[in-house]
Structure 1
Amino acid sequence: MRKVELWWRIPLAMIGGLIALYIFPTENIWVLSPLVPALILIATLGMGFRLALLTGFIAGQVYYIAHIEWISLYLGPVPLLALSTLMSVYFALGVGLTSWLWKRLKPKTNQYIWFAVLAAAIWIAREWLAMSFPYGGFPWSRLGMAQAHGPWGNWAYFGGISLVGFAVALIGSLLAVIAVGARKRGFPLRLATISAALIATMPAIFPLGLLNQTDRTATIAAVQGNANAGLFSNLTPGTILNNHIQATKLVSETDLADELDLIVWPENASDVDPLRSDEARGAIDKIAKEFDAPFTFGTVTKSGDDVYNSTLLWSPTEGPIDQYDKKRPVPFAEFVPDRPFWRALAPDLIDLVPRGYSFGERDGIFELEEFMAGTLICFEIAIDQIPRELANSGAEVILSQTNNADFGYSDETYQQAAIAKLRAIETGRSVVNISTVGLSAIYLPDGKTLNELTWYQPGAMVNKVPLYSAITPAVFIGGWIDALIAALGVLSLVVIRRR
């Protein structure tokens, strides 16, 4: 590699990373997504491992900082840089390995197609590593998560977000090998072009709507209280609960107010635990009896020395009848792993998270009179295993209860809502994504939006929400999809080596 070539290679890789700013919500220019892996591959194919590693690390920093800058809103730039640096190490390893294999394998003729498959598989393997380690990883920012508003998101029905990401990475890898090898003798230009076109167009013509027909519905009211429920809010206890009680009164103004099967409040909707406060219990009992419907809402509960981020199911006649405790609290936001070690490095930052939530062990299935609802809390929507488990356990609708108050008018809430939409397609379930401040919406399994609320305004979505029980291919395959993609990468490597 001549050093003179670095003047264009590193900037090109940085442009590839910067495109992340435009493909994720709110910009939503999803069609640009293949350019992320394509430009980074074009920039690094032919580099040695160490130079590709460095270039990949720089591109990774740009990629992450470009679209998750919202992490700095309440903790400042240090956590953002720490997270982007860790993620960029994984990013660099994937880029370095791909470049090293290109130099070792020296693909020819149809091997270019197989190398594109290998590169895409490495991309997904790198994403799996990043969303798994350490402390449960960072499951955000995967390439497939940018596809909620385009037809490529339909791949989620067959294999979840990993398959969506693989399809996009494969299109990008094919574009890269076309750019790098098209002028070489024997390059299969027609095959590479047709392959990219098929991957891009197949999900657009697949009729998801025809696969999700149902006659069963549940009348659900999802209430957005417009409450300042952030980690560092200093409101008088009971204020957030009162916000949601007042917003719930909007439900009575709708035509379906007398037909309610369930009322859903978001995470942290009750800032006073009604299991320990008679006043809060009385207020919730009163509103539940007024609507004669069960409630589900988020609050902080205690059991001995354990503190949980919980969702309660509240009956208008019996009070609390079920409870879900968040299984995957967010590291360095809801708990601090290895606190003594990290506090020694950054005591001021670590002390901002004084309370550590315990890991819940209850299932997220709420059995109601007419149907079964599955619930998860906030960041758990980004964790593949949790919504799949809900669908496999009999949930006919998924409730995604969240609190986005810490992130203001940033892209975070739109990115989270986009993940919720993809989960609807993946699980074949309607997803009720309800936030304290927005973005709140109800998504159908064909990716359409049934209803949506305006940011930072109290409001209520009251709809007949379709109920589903069929298991999609993505749920059936489950976590094996990542292993299958990795196996396809290994197969590609074997085919290339057998010249």
Structure 2
Amino acid sequence: MWALPLWAAVLTALVGGLLLDASFPDVGWWPLAFVAIVFGLVSLMGRSVGGALLVGLVFGAAFWFTHVAWTTRYLGPVPWAALAGLESVLWAVGSIPIMFAYRWLPRVLPGRWARLTLLPVLVAGAWTLRELVMGSFPYTGFPWGRIGMSQSESPLASVASWVGVTGLTFLIVFACAALVEAARVGAWRDLRTLLPGGIAVVVLVTLPAFPTTAAGEMRVGSVQGNGPSGYFDERARGDILNAQLAATAPLFADDLDLVVWPEGGIDSDPLSNAATARTLDALSQRIGAPLLVNAATERGDDEFNTSLLWEPGTGAVALHDKTHPVPFGEYVPDRPFFEMLAPDLIGLIGREYTPGTNAPFVRVGDVGVGLAICFDVIYDDVIWDGARDGAQFYAFQTNNADFRGTDENVQQLAFARMRAIETGRAVVNISTVGTSQVIAPDGSVIDGLPAGAAGAMATTVPLRTGLTAAVVIGPAVQLVLGWGAALALAVLGGVAVFRREP
């Protein structure tokens, strides 16, 4: 049954976790995701609950402590250990259902073809369920390590436009699990056993992107000011705004429809600071186009991370507040409890951003623009809501200044590329410090700015209409694949226990 000795399973899981991280940028060798999944599955075969926890913890730790090492850039090892440690534990707990799939399904349905088809479906569903839970729990979750997101540079990325990132994860894990089962039952004796996995691979490689409809073009300027926008950067009031203004100057000669600034491109609230409002008015009038800017804003007793559409002579005509502020970055959940554990560290987080409830969407003339502020790019609901509201392209505003010189920048850029492919829409991904890019609906790069340099882009951005299948059926795919797997495991477990009773 391919049950490795525990020591070998632990070693296999360790290597698998490291390989999975290498499938993401900065290394970005996407085929390693397949190898990593195989290692992860083989390490769980024949395990007890305790053994599954152990090998799952080793795999999860090898992946997460490597994958999010960028959290140490300014704050040191404590946040890194807390985040990676929590994700590793969740990964370990989520390994138990996969172990039970390998135990229960052959016991209830011992036939050869059930093992070659139904077992890979159940295993892939259990893996997908783990991703969904980790992407929503605790608090708003942290869906940063999804298998589907590792494929932004691969020919498989177009599959996400049909079934979303969740569906892509499922199909990749299914293909790996089916090929492993073919080897376990003896593919060398009957090549037909390779059919389920082989068909999955063919679909992954050959399925073209879901088509969207061309709807014209828009001339968009985007500005990377490279100002002192990091949490611990030394700066005087207005330095970030001045850096953005200076970097915007080369765009004055262009005929633009919109200018996009990054997250945190303004270090004062233009809704309450008259001087900042006058500066934005003068700039938008000088350019002759509206501005899409971002700042911390206050309304009543609440503080928000806000994108503002600023019209010449009118001011802010539309707002979008960040939907998922980052726990322990932009607010502290259960602050009194965590202050008891780490008062000095928690004390550094002075702001308490309130989650936004307004749509991630603004309209510039007749053109709909979908929005996502920084880490909101990893949350499906934000992206899908923008498309459903009528987005014809996306503007992703981010601030990577706290992670200069780390993999965080390129990982987030890869997620932006996957979103372009998934929705069939161009993306203007603009950062305070880089890397900034304009990405076409097929994922190719139209324009870009290097990290760590001030600059501006004036880009003709293609517009698209029509919803991809991923946007239309995405929630149903998650429900069926993830929670369907949970229901199937519960039924199988009940039958397996009943059959063992005398």
**What TM-score does the superposition give when structure 2 sets the normalisation length?**
0.92
Partner of 2:196 in structure 1? 195
**C-alpha separation between the residues in 1 aligned to 2:119 and 2:208?**
31
**C-alpha separation between the residues in 2 aligned to 1:303 and 1:137?**
26
State the Cα distance separating 1:3 from its structure 2 match: 11
Partner SS, residue 151 of structure 1: coil
**C-alpha separation between the residues in 2 aligned to 1:47 and 1:40?**
12
State the Cα distance separating 1:279 from its structure 2 match: 2.3
Check the 8 A contact 2:323/2:356 in 1, yes or no. Answer: yes
Q: How does 1:28-39 map to 2 (within 5 A)?
A: 28-39=28-39
* Residues 1:112 and 2:115 are matched in the alignment: yes
| Aligned residue type for 2:52 | A
Equivalent of 2:173, from 150, 169, 186? 169
Check the 8 A contact 2:4/2:45 in 1, yes or no. Answer: no
Check the 8 A contact 1:223/1:434 in 2, yes or no. Answer: yes
**C-alpha separation between the residues in 1 aligned to 2:3 and 2:175?**
29
Partner of 2:86 in structure 1? 86
**C-alpha separation between the residues in 1 aligned to 2:104 and 2:231?**
51
State the Cα distance separating 1:229 from its structure 2 match: 0.7
**C-alpha separation between the residues in 2 aligned to 1:408 and 1:473?**
36
Partner of 2:209 in structure 1? 208
| Aligned residue type for 1:308 | F
State the Cα distance separating 1:477 from its structure 2 match: 0.9
Equivalent of 1:305, from 301, 310, 316? 301
Check the 8 A contact 2:322/2:372 in 1, yes or no. Answer: yes
State the Cα distance separating 1:159 from its structure 2 match: 1.5
Q: Percent same amino acid among aligned pairs? A: 36
**C-alpha separation between the residues in 2 aligned to 1:212 and 1:296?**
25
The structure-2 alpha-carbon separation of the partners of 1:269 and 1:324, relative to structure 1 and needing over 3 Å to count, comes to: same
**C-alpha separation between the residues in 1 aligned to 2:205 and 2:2?**
43
Partner of 1:274 in structure 2? 270
* Residues 1:103 and 2:106 are matched in the alignment: no
Partner SS, residue 136 of structure 2: coil
Check the 8 A contact 1:300/1:310 in 2, yes or no. Answer: yes
| Aligned residue type for 2:128 | I
**C-alpha separation between the residues in 1 aligned to 2:155 and 2:48?**
37
The structure-2 alpha-carbon separation of the partners of 1:190 and 1:426, relative to structure 1 and needing over 3 Å to count, comes to: same
State the Cα distance separating 1:342 from its structure 2 match: 0.9
Partner SS, residue 208 of structure 1: coil
Check the 8 A contact 2:241/2:267 in 1, yes or no. Answer: yes
Check the 8 A contact 2:371/2:395 in 1, yes or no. Answer: yes
Equivalent of 1:160, from 161, 164, 178? 164
**C-alpha separation between the residues in 1 aligned to 2:35 and 2:190?**
18
- Write the deviation string for residues 229-263 of structure 1: whole angstroms up to 9, x where unpaired: 1122231111111111111112246xxx12x1100
Check the 8 A contact 1:46/1:99 in 2, yes or no. Answer: yes
The structure-2 alpha-carbon separation of the partners of 1:189 and 1:14, relative to structure 1 and needing over 3 Å to count, comes to: farther
* Residues 1:436 and 2:432 are matched in the alignment: yes
| Aligned residue type for 2:25 | P
The structure-2 alpha-carbon separation of the partners of 1:41 and 1:207, relative to structure 1 and needing over 3 Å to count, comes to: closer
Residue segments in structure 2 that go unaligned for 5+ positions in a row: none
State the Cα distance separating 1:179 from its structure 2 match: 4.2
**C-alpha separation between the residues in 2 aligned to 1:170 and 1:362?**
37
Partner of 2:402 in structure 1? 406
| Aligned residue type for 2:31 | V
* Residues 1:129 and 2:133 are matched in the alignment: yes
Check the 8 A contact 2:49/2:96 in 1, yes or no. Answer: yes
State the Cα distance separating 1:49 from its structure 2 match: 1.7
Residue segments in structure 1 that go unaligned for 5+ positions in a row: none
**What TM-score does the superposition give when structure 1 sets the normalisation length?**
0.93
Check the 8 A contact 1:152/1:200 in 2, yes or no. Answer: no
State the Cα distance separating 1:56 from its structure 2 match: 0.7
Partner of 2:24 in structure 1? 24
Partner of 1:263 in structure 2? 259
Instruction: Work out the number of aligned pairs and report it.
Output: 491
- Write the deviation string for residues 88-136 of structure 1: whole angstroms up to 9, x where unpaired: 2221123222223323333441122221111111000001011111111
Partner SS, residue 276 of structure 1: coil
The structure-2 alpha-carbon separation of the partners of 1:443 and 1:201, relative to structure 1 and needing over 3 Å to count, comes to: farther
The structure-2 alpha-carbon separation of the partners of 1:242 and 1:2, relative to structure 1 and needing over 3 Å to count, comes to: closer
| Aligned residue type for 2:170 | F
Equivalent of 1:339, from 318, 335, 351? 335
- Write the deviation string for residues 420-463 of structure 1: whole angstroms up to 9, x where unpaired: 11111222221111100112111222222221211111122211
Check the 8 A contact 1:20/1:64 in 2, yes or no. Answer: no
**C-alpha separation between the residues in 1 aligned to 2:199 and 2:409?**
32
